[in-house]
């Protein structure tokens, strides 16, 4: 496993319940600001194995980015169960729910 992948896993594990992060935000914190798509791949490949809170990761607009309706509705359900408001358009207010770090 690469150091970048290890750092991504660590960051995703650290997202607190009731908060979200974006793919790009995770990539920046892991040291590779242009690697948002790599974060997507890591989440897709490793969420189950490492029991990651994958549902707390959204795109840059605060949208649920899962294309299939069943997966998107599962993510919505999991976010709502943590007290996060998700609109009918499957978006979350990043201003309200996004984890902010000192570096951002």
- For the chain, what's the residue count? 104
| pLDDT tens-digit readout, 15-74 | 999 999 999 999 999 999 999 999 999 999 999 999 999 999 999 999 999 989 999 999
For residue 58, the cross-strand partners are 22
Nearest to 79 by CA among 45, 60, 54, 99: 54
Report pTM.
0.92
């Amino acid at each position: 496993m690469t150091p970048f992948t290890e750092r991504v896993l660590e960051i995703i594990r650290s997202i607190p319940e009731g908060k979200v992060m974006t793919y790009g935000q995770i990539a920046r914190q892991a040291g590779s600001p242009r690697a948002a798509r790599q974060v997507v791949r890591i989440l897709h490949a490793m969420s189950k194995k490492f029991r990651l809170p994958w549902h707390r990761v959204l795109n840059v607009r605060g949208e649920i980015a899962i294309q299939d309706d069943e997966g998107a509705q599962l993510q919505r359900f999991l976010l709502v169960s943590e007290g996060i408001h998700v609109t009918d358009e499957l978006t979350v207010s990043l201003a309200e729910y996004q984890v902010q770090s000192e570096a951002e």
